[in-house]
Structure 1
Amino acid sequence: MSFPFSLTYYDPPEHLKRHLTVLFHFATDAELTEDAVSGALAQFNIFPCGTGEIAFDGPAHPVTAKANLSAGTTVAAKFRMKGPWHAIGATLTPLGWAALTKEPAQRHINRYFPAEELLGSEVTDFSEALSARYVSGELTPEDACSALGDWIAAHLGTVSPQHERLIEQTITWLGSALNPDIEDLFPTLNYSRRQAERLVERFFGLPPAAVARKFRAIRASAMLAKEDLSDAEAAAIAEAFYDQPHMVREISRYCGYTPKRLGGDGQPILKTLLQMKNFHRLQEFRAS
């Protein structure tokens, strides 16, 4: 199904770049939108208009709140939204999720739920007021994204410097190769192996090996969705998986489509989201 939509990214302000990869505005006037999202990183989304449902590995769950949170997923999440559907959103780094929600990410993996559950009634009041101003035309999409960033900045808690460094080192390791060796991670962390595994799961939602597996599939999908896949990228993808059936299974699990369908007309939102903008921004995460 092909339909018109717009997706615009905005750079977060400098003081938020360790907590957010991007702010974004999505809009479609289609009566019904059906697609999938990979859920690589945590999300904080406000829907000024549009309701629907989202499904992970089981029954669909309703999406009716204005403000919603997701800590990420272990599978592709398929959604159906009744339009017009507009979203004002922020993609959170693992540090951003921890500082904003004060919750272990693994406790909320494979969930998409009202933000009020973790952020209280204040976020409901804010999202309803922002939505009203956006729908009336008082706020442009960029203004609305800026207001969301300001609200997030005002509600961030602190994360210990030791845990910030663990997050930074894990991100560096994830970006070191399409299929990074888990044995290269632990020597960079100032914890026992067991402690490090628990902490990576706390901040990334999954143990290290599972995090690497998810990002491998999503990054490979992004490469395959490109119209100008290079020989070097094709070789890197081939080397990252045992064989082609393994690649197909992994990409299907995390993106919801087999590789030969990526880049087609049937999943336009997924194709746009798979351009790795968020992952590139995640790799820019650096300790201050």
Structure 2
Amino acid sequence: MYDSEDPYTDQDSLDFGKADYELTASSLITVDYIAPPAAISDYVTTLYHFRCEEPVIRDIQPASVGHLSLFPRGKGEMHFREGHRDPNPEIAILTPLSTATPIIVNGPFHVIGAALTPLGWASLTGLHAGDYRDRLREASEILGEDIGPIGQDLIRDYRSGTKSGRDCALALGEYIGGKVKPINSRHAELIRVVNNWLGSSLNPELSELMGKAAYSDRQVQRLTERYFGLPPQALARKYRALRAAALLSFPQLTPEFEAELGNAFFDQPHMIREINRFAGRTPARLSDDDNPFLSEMIDPKNFRELG
């Protein structure tokens, strides 16, 4: 069903729903979401402030575009599908994730951050999303030394109580607004076209994208991986699973959405595997309140760039 450039195979699946990976209960976690100011809404999906006071926290980050984050409290690791583990720096860039990724942290654990759009990743970092995907890195390695003093000041003020989590999140947003740079206008238009294509259906046809993009098929493949981290069909697979997870988290679905879900996957086991791979949950556990961070990240409002 997917072309040879799709990096996923049936052999590389991970079952994040196994009993030996017990997630921290939602009642122990608080997450505040702050709408990004209009000036940065093209670049930032949401700002957030995450807190958990438990001695050990286990969570799952769904596949995403990228984050700029502060970790004022808590030390731990992200466990990536490829087998490597990255510790969390106090000032970090989470690069675009191709799959859901487990997090294990010695708490208390506090995170303040900004979830980026594809345009935000490109304009803020200038990096090839496919080459840099699936890592948690020191922000200064990617953004330059200026983020270090800014981030340390915010962490100090947060720890002392001088600034709230909301204050720090908005300050990160202000930093992003001052740091982003324009990208090639034709590339920006392609990002818009790809967003609209992804939002047109749970299972969009590749030919429709190629027909609307002002580039050759090979250029579309190359540029989509550059800005989104994956080639088009693999990207459609990722967003199909995330949007299906968002739909299945609703208390009830309209007949139209039920039909669209039924037509988007080969069968129910296939849908379960796909949602587990990209959202880190089986459909039966999407609305069990075990993971409020995941629930927010797959909320439909966070796919607003998809049209």
What TM-score range do you get, normalising by the shorter chain?
Answer: over 0.9
1:143 and 2:167 are equivalent in the alignment: yes
Alignment of 1:224-243 (within 5 A): 224-243=248-267
Of 15, 39, 52, 1:28 maps to: 52
Cα drift, residue 164 of structure 1: 0.7
Comparing 148-157 with 6-15, greater Cα deviation is found at 6-15
In structure 2, the partner of 1:207 is 231
Cα drift, residue 84 of structure 1: 1.6
Of 151, 176, 192, 1:127 maps to: 151
Q: CA offsets per residue over residues 48-90 of structure 1, 9 Å max, x none?
A: 1111111121445242311111232222100112222111111
Comparing 1-10 with 40-49, greater Cα deviation is found at 1-10
Alignment check: 8 A CA contact 2:42 2:120 kept? yes
Alignment of 1:82-231 (within 5 A): 82-231=106-255
Comparing 100-109 with 27-36, greater Cα deviation is found at 27-36
Tell me, in whole angstroms, the C-alpha distance in 2 between the residues paired with 1:146 and 1:75.
28
Comparing 19-28 with 54-63, greater Cα deviation is found at 54-63
Alignment of 1:74-89 (within 5 A): 74-89=98-113
In structure 1, the partner of 2:303 is 279
Q: CA RMSD in A?
A: 1.6
1:61 and 2:85 are equivalent in the alignment: yes
- In the TM superposition, structure 1's runs of 4+ consecutive aligned residues that sit over 6 Å from their partners are none
Cα drift, residue 38 of structure 1: 1.2
Cα drift, residue 99 of structure 1: 1.1
Tell me, in whole angstroms, the C-alpha distance in 2 between the residues paired with 1:119 and 1:242.
42
Structure 1 pair 30/273, CA: closer, same or farther in 2 (3 Å)? farther
Tell me, in whole angstroms, the C-alpha distance in 2 between the residues paired with 1:209 and 1:57.
20
Comparing 268-277 with 238-247, greater Cα deviation is found at 268-277
Which blocks of at least 5 consecutive residues in structure 1 are unaligned? none
Residue 185 of structure 1 aligns to a residue in which SS? helix
Comparing 75-84 with 260-269, greater Cα deviation is found at 260-269
TM-score (norm 1): 0.92
Tell me, in whole angstroms, the C-alpha distance in 2 between the residues paired with 1:84 and 1:229.
37
Tell me, in whole angstroms, the C-alpha distance in 1 between the residues paired with 2:50 and 2:291.
15
Tell me, in whole angstroms, the C-alpha distance in 2 between the residues paired with 1:108 and 1:70.
10
Alignment check: 8 A CA contact 1:49 1:83 kept? yes
Identity %: 36
Alignment check: 8 A CA contact 1:8 1:25 kept? yes
Which blocks of at least 5 consecutive residues in structure 2 are unaligned? 1-23
Tell me, in whole angstroms, the C-alpha distance in 1 between the residues paired with 2:173 and 2:296.
22
Tell me, in whole angstroms, the C-alpha distance in 1 between the residues paired with 2:126 and 2:83.
28
Cα drift, residue 204 of structure 1: 0.4
Comparing 51-60 with 237-246, greater Cα deviation is found at 51-60
